[in-house]
Chains A and B, each alone.
Chain A
Amino acid sequence: MKKLFPAGVAICAVLFAYAPIAIGRAPYESTMGLVQKIFYFHVPSWFAMFLATFVCGIAGVVFLFTRRRAADAVAVAAAELAVLFGLLGLVTGPLWARKAWGVWWQWDARLVTALVLWLIFAAYLLLRKYGGPGSERLAAGVALFGMANVPFVYWSVHMWRTIHPLTSVVPTLPRPLAGPLWLSVAAFLLLFVLLLGMRSRLERLRQALDDAYLTLEEQS
């Protein structure tokens, strides 16, 4: 795993360096023009965020029932990344919406689902930070409930209203637009995996340090 890490960083760096060129070369979309380029940041951000919430939920369940602290470290890392990538999506979305729909925000099913999901994982982080001792288990519960909540939020908001272009647009994109998109998605997902590995390792080290302090206190 450790040997793969530098290789991963190198590939990710190449992808991120090449992505602007690919995006620049891609043709302008006929109605939205330059603003459509946000697409290459916006869609990968949400891909990474949804992957992160899923990883956090699963890691939370594993931690809750097996008490493996490694799972907890992965859950924290995934929750932080979910909030980070979600923030990228939430910032790029309104910028695009302003141009495409004429408003910054629409109360649409996908937008509200994404916002609610982002709020749940922000709550997860707040809980861990201010919850005091034992908040890991509590936060794991929030991650599990947050994951189980996704279909309900989507269903309820969908019944309420929908305007966002369907995600089924993605597979039907013309080739010159799809190429840079998948490149950006690959770059973002690889970045996600690298950050997840780094952050969970940091969390493991922090846990080990905590344990060392505890042992020292017990001995003295």
Chain B
Amino acid sequence: MKHFLAAVGLVVSKDLAIEWRSREIVYTTVFFALSCVLVFAFGFVKENRQVEDAAAAILWIAMAFSGTLAIGRTFERERQNETLRALLASPIDRPALYLGKLVGVLVLLAAVQCLIVPLVGLMFGGRFMAHPAFVVALLALGSIGFAAVGTLFAAMLLRSRSRDVLLPIVLYPITVPVIIAGVRGTAALLQPEPDLVVARSWGAMLLCFDVVFITLALWTFDAVMSDGA
């Protein structure tokens, strides 16, 4: 177990060290998310007032779009330098490799959300500070579910030609429950009278989703990634 966690830590620190030097993914993803928020404003704001629940919807759509971009870029980096083969050949468990990649992606997503959440709060009047712990919990659970599926499929798609377009095609239908739970749960929290019971039940669903899909991903990662990549 100690060895396993050390391997996970090594993969995470490797990814973050590379990212820290260029900061390419964080910068590009943040600005992509900003552009998303701006584009949606044209659809959701009418006569200076936003449509009901717009803040929650825009936040989660920006999360899903920028998350896809970040996950795709993380693996593109491994492909460009032919380093995934080296990673797979290294004497660490495949599940440790998967978890390491997943944690790396989650750190990136968290960094992006630190900027996007306050921005959506300011521009669309989302009352995120009414129950900050709930908002953070929903975002964390949702990001984990989204990234758990995304990391597995991005790793698998690495060798295919049209990976850029195939990743969202596969990822969005499978993560529909995450998006619904995230948007509805956040919308329940942002109401003038926050509905904590509803938010909690969406959170419970996200937790079940995360557990099931991380387990499935750990179980299948070895099988789908063998024969080199």
Contacts and interface: CB of A to CB of B under 8 A. Distances in A.
Contacts of A65: 223
A155 B208 CA distance: 11
A126 B177 contact: no
Contacts of A135: 160
Contacts of A152: 177, 205, 208-209, 212
B174 A137 contact: no
A155 B177 contact: yes
A148 B160 contact: no
A141 B166 CA distance: 14
Contacts of A142: 153, 170, 174
A65 B220 CA distance: 9
B227 A134 contact: yes
A68 to B, nearest CB: 13
A65 to B, nearest CB: 6
B169 interface: yes
Given A64-B223, A120-B173, A130-B166, A160 B160 contact: no
B157 A138 contact: yes
Given A132-B160, A134-B160, A159-B205, A123 B223 contact: no
B55 interface: no
B213 A148 contact: yes
A135 B160 CA distance: 7
B223 A137 contact: yes
A160 B182 CA distance: 12
Contact of B157 (A112, A120, A131): A131
Interface string B153-165: 1001101111000
**Which DSSP category, helix, strand, loop or mixed, fits chain B's interface?**
helix
B201 interface: yes
A216 B196 CA distance: 67
B5 interface: no
A120 B170 CA distance: 7
Contacts of B208: 152
Interface in A155-181: 155-157, 159-160
Query: Which 9 pairs across A and B sit closest by C-beta, in order of nearness?
Result: A152-B177, A119-B173, A156-B177, A131-B160, A156-B180, A132-B160, A138-B156, A120-B173, A64-B223
Interface of B: 149, 152-153, 156-157, 159-162, 166, 169-170, 172-174, 176-177, 180-181, 184, 201-202, 205, 208-209, 212-213, 216, 220, 223-224, 227
28 contacts: A64-B223, A64-B224, A119-B173, A120-B170, A123-B166, A123-B170, A130-B161, A131-B157, A132-B159, A134-B159, A135-B160, A137-B223, A138-B160, A138-B224, A140-B224, A141-B220, A145-B174, A145-B216, A146-B173, A149-B177, A152-B177, A152-B205, A152-B209, A153-B176, A156-B177, A156-B180, A159-B184, A159-B205
